Amino acid sequence: MLLVSQGQWRNSVRAKFTLAMVTCAGAAIMLVLAAASGYQFLHEHQATLHQLTSVAKVVSANSSAALSFRDGDAAAEALKAVAGVQSVVGSALYSSDGRMFASWVRDRTAACLRGGKRASLRGAAACTTSR
Q: How confident is the model over 116-129, as pLDDT tens digits? A: 445 555 455 555 54
Instruction: Tell me the pLDDT of the chain averaged across its residues.
Output: 79
Nearest to 104 by CA among 130, 77, 86, 85: 77
Burial grade of 88 (CB within 10 A; 0-12, 13-18, 19 or more) = buried
SS3 103: strand
Burial of 76 (0-12, 13-18, 19+ CB in 10 A): middle
At residue 26 the predicted structure's pLDDT band, cuts being 50, 70 and 90, is very high
Region 25-43 average pLDDT: 98
- Which element (helix H / strand E) includes 130? none
Q: What is the pLDDT of residue 29?
A: 98
Please report the pLDDT score of residue 95 as a whole number. 81
pLDDT digits (tens, 9 = 90+) for 66-104: 888 988 889 888 888 888 888 788 888 888 888 888 888
Q: Model pTM?
A: 0.57
Express as a percent the part of the chain with pLDDT over 70: 74
